[in-house]
Amino acid sequence: MSDALLGHLLAVASLLFFTAAIMFTKVASSRIHIGVGFFVATLANIVVSAVAFALQLAWRDEALTWNINALLLFAAAGAFATYLGRWFFFESVVRFGPAKASLFQVSSPIFTALMAWVLLGEGLSWWAVLAIFMTVGGLMLVSYKPGSLAKGQSGDGAVPYQTAAQPPGLLTMKERVLRSALLLGLGSSLAYAVGNVLRGAAVRSWNEPVLGALVGALCGLALHLMFTADKRGLVARLRSSNRSGCYLFALVGLCNISGQICVIGSMRYIPLTVATLMTLCTPILIFPLSYLFLKKQDDMTLTTILGGILTLLGIFIIVMR
């Protein structure tokens, strides 16, 4: 098996894991608070990756070697992607709805491509660049829902964010960020892009995707707990939360960390931009699955179908180039 084929197969596996995570999240988020779910999912990230790493150590023949620089890069990637990226994304979903949030999210491969080009010297052909923009454009069409971007609407049934009236001049910087869909969306996209570039640089010098995912998850959880003001309240909410919702979010964490391990592994064999782009193609699977299993027939529109075709065409050009 060639390195390129292995890289693409790992990216496809990551796509399937992330798709499953989103489907489980759709069900779980209606049962417990998203903040508690974030904690449960991140904790599951650590448990699953720790078990996977222990099994890997038991089965491997060669001894584990350490690379401190790569270890620090994986930790930094966890700070950007697992903590900052998720925080920005969850805030944008809660305040402005999944439709707006997802439109910004699919722009992450463009930022990844630019940073990989500048920082890692990773070049792409003009055909690949064209295919990336085709895929991103297709994903935007798939994610778009008529009327969801109108002012004051959050889309997908989410409740728009509201605060008490306050003069614009008295808003703090944090409040300005939290009220801006643009800043939250771009913040999430940039944070994930930085995390992807750091992971790609780390795995190419130290081929330990499982350990890297564990380090990133530990760093993300540590930052989450460090900046959570009401830690006792979090424990109380966890104890009183719906058990099935907690189990579902644990399953979300299992799928997320499995997808993360696969995409980190794929970055060693194929360009970072291609790996991250393929894993963000979840909408082309989510919409038909929602149509089949969640009976969301209004999601399947002509725009959705055209966006799916454009996305698949872009991916085909990238893989077959």
DSSP character string of 157-174? TPPPP------GGG--HH
Beta strands in 263-318 (DSSP E): none
Q: Residue 83's closest CA among 189, 199, 178, 222?
A: 222
Angstrom distance (rounded) from CA 109 to CA 239: 38
Structure tokens that stand for 167 in this block: 């003069």
Written as six digits, the tokens of 157 are 């049934």
Rounded to an integer, what distance in angstroms lies between the CA atom of residue 267 and that of residue 275? 6
Q: What is the pLDDT of residue 303?
A: 74
Q: b/e string for 220-240 if b means 16 or more Cβ within 10 A? A: bbbbbeeeeeeeeebeeebee
Sign of CA dihedral 81, 82, 88, 93: positive
Terminal C-alpha separation, the chain: 18
Global pTM reads: 0.76
- The string of DSSP letters for 4-65 reads HHHHHHHHHHHHHHHHHHHHHHHHHTTTS-HHHHHHHHHHHHHHHHHHHHHHHHHH-SSPP-
What secondary structure letter does DSSP report for 80? I
d(CA 263, CA 274): 10
d(CA 49, CA 288): 30
pLDDT of residue 212: 94
C-alpha radius of gyration, the chain, whole number: 19
CA angle (41, 234, 227) in 5-degree steps: 85
For residue 319 the two structure tokens come to 């893989």
Average pLDDT per 10 consecutive residues for the chain, totaling 321 residues:
88 91 80 81 92 91 90 94 79 62 67 78 75 75 57 40 41 54 74 90 92 93 80 76 89 92 92 82 74 60 74 70 56
